[in-house]
Amino acid sequence: MIEGDTRAQNRFRELLDAAPDAIIEANSEGRIVLVNEIAQRLFGYSREEFLGLSIDALVPAAGRGQHAQRRDAFAQKASTRPMGSGVELRAQRKDGSVFPVEISLSPIHSEEGFHVIATVRDVTARRLAEERFQEMQDRFTRELEEKNRQLQQRNAEVERSDRLKSEFLASMSHELRSPLHTIIGFAELLIEELEGPLNEKQKRFVSNIHQDSHHLLALINDLLDISKIEAGRMEFHLEKFALGPALDEVMDMIRPQAEGKGLRLTAEMDEGIFVEADRLRLRQILTNLLSNAVKFTPAGGTVAVSVMARRHKVAISVVDSGVGIARDDHEAIFDKFYQVGSTTKGVREGTGLGLAITKRLVEQQGGRIWVCSEPGQGSTFVFTVKTGDTHRGLTRPLVLIIEDEPRAAELLVNYLTPEGFTALCAESAEQAATIAAELSPEAIVVDLSTPTSQEWRMIRDLRSQSRLEAIPIVIVSVTEECDAARALGVEAHLTKPVGKRQLLDTLAQAVRTQTDRRPVLVVDDEPMARELLAAILREAGHTTAMAASGEEALSLMEQATPSVVILDLMLPGMSGFDVLSRIRERAEWSEVPVVVLTGLELNRGDAERLKQTTVAILRKGQSWKQPLLGALRKTVRPS
The model's pLDDT over 378-396, given as tens digits with 9 standing for 90+, comes to: 899 999 999 987 555 456 7
Look at residue 484 in the predicted model and tell me its pLDDT: 64
Structural fold of domain 238-391: Heat Shock Protein 90 (3.30.565)
Q: Give the C-alpha separation, 224 to 265, whole Å.
A: 30
- What confidence score (pLDDT) does residue 345 get? 47
Q: Tell me, what DSSP letter sits at residue 466?
A: T
Q: One-letter amino acid identity for 271?
A: E
Alpha-carbon dihedral 186, 187, 190, 195, rounded to 10 degrees? 10
Section 531-555 average pLDDT: 88
Q: How far apart are CA 41 and CA 307, in angstroms?
A: 88
For the stretch 145-168, pLDDT in tens is 999 999 998 888 888 877 777 667
| pLDDT exceeds cutoff 90 at 638 | no
Percent of the chain clearing pLDDT 70 (strictly above):
87
Note the pLDDT of residue 513.
40
Question: Mean pLDDT across the stretch 104-129?
Answer: 87
pLDDT of residue 497: 78
Residue 637: predicted pLDDT: 53
pLDDT average, residue stretch 137-142? 90
Which CA distances in Å does 42 have to 37, 97, 124, 204, 407?
9, 11, 12, 103, 79
Q: Are 365 and 385 in contact (CB under 8 A)?
A: yes
Which helix (H) or strand (E) segment holds residue 580: the answer is helix 576-585
The mean per-residue pLDDT over the stretch 355-361 comes to 88
Residues 416-453: tens digit of each pLDDT: 888 878 888 888 778 888 888 888 888 888 887 666 66
Ramachandran bin of 573, using left for φ above 0, alpha for ψ from -120 to 50, beta for the remaining angles: left
pLDDT at 267: 92
Is the pLDDT score of 348 beyond 50? no
Q: Is 432 exposed, middle or buried (0-12, 13-18, 19+ CB in 10 A)?
A: buried
What CATH code would you report for 2-122? 3.30.450.20
Say what the pLDDT of residue 271 is.
83
* Backbone phi, psi, residue 274, to 5°: -110, 150
Which stretches of 243-388 are assigned E, i.e. beta strand? 264-268, 274-278, 302-309, 313-320, 369-373, 379-387
Fold of 520-635: Rossmann fold (3.40.50)
Given the DSSP bridges, would you call strands 98-110 and 89-92 parallel, antiparallel or unpaired?
Answer: antiparallel
Q: What is the mean pLDDT of residues 564-570?
A: 92
Give span(s): CATH 3.40.50.2300, the chain. 396-513, 520-635
Q: What is the dihedral of CA 463, 465, 466, 470, to 10 degrees?
A: -30
CA atoms within 13 A on the CB side of 190: 19
Mean pLDDT of the chain: 82
pLDDT category at 98 given cuts 50, 70, 90 is very high
Render pLDDT for 294-322 as a digit per residue (tens, 0 to 9).
999 999 999 999 998 887 899 999 999 99
Q: What is the pLDDT of residue 514?
A: 41
Q: Is 628 within 8 Å of 597 (Cβ atoms)? A: yes
pLDDT at position 211 over 80:
no
The reported pLDDT for the residue numbered 46 is 92
Question: Do residues 316 and 422 lie in contact, with contact meaning Cβ atoms separated by under 8 Å?
Answer: no
Average pLDDT estimate for 15-30: 87
Contacts of 583 (CB under 8 A, 6+ apart): 554, 557, 565, 589, 590, 592, 594
Residue 634 to residue 542: CA distance in whole angstroms: 13
Average the pLDDT over 331-359 and give the result: 66
Q: Name which of 417, 393, 413, 395 is nearest 403 in CA terms.
A: 413
- 177: number of Cβ within 10 Å: 14
At residue 286, the pLDDT reads 93
Inform me whether the pLDDT recorded for 368 exceeds 90. yes
Is residue 414 scored above 60 in pLDDT? yes
Bigger pLDDT: 632 or 551? 551
What's residue 512's pLDDT? 62
The pLDDT assigned to 357 comes to 85
Residue 48, pLDDT above cutoff 70: yes
State the span(s) of the chain assigned CATH 1.10.287. Answer: 153-231
Distance separating alpha carbons of residues 554 and 582, to the nearest angstrom: 8
What is the pLDDT averaged over residues 231-239? 77
pLDDT digits (tens, 9 = 90+) for 456-481: 777 777 777 666 666 788 888 877 76
Better-scored residue on pLDDT, 251 or 627: 251
Third-level CATH fold of 396-513 = Rossmann fold (3.40.50)
Q: Does domain 153-231 have CATH number 3.90.930?
A: no
The boundaries of every CATH 3.30.565.10 domain in the chain are: 238-391
- pLDDT confidence of residue 341: 54
Instruction: Judge whether residue 410 has pLDDT over 50.
Output: yes
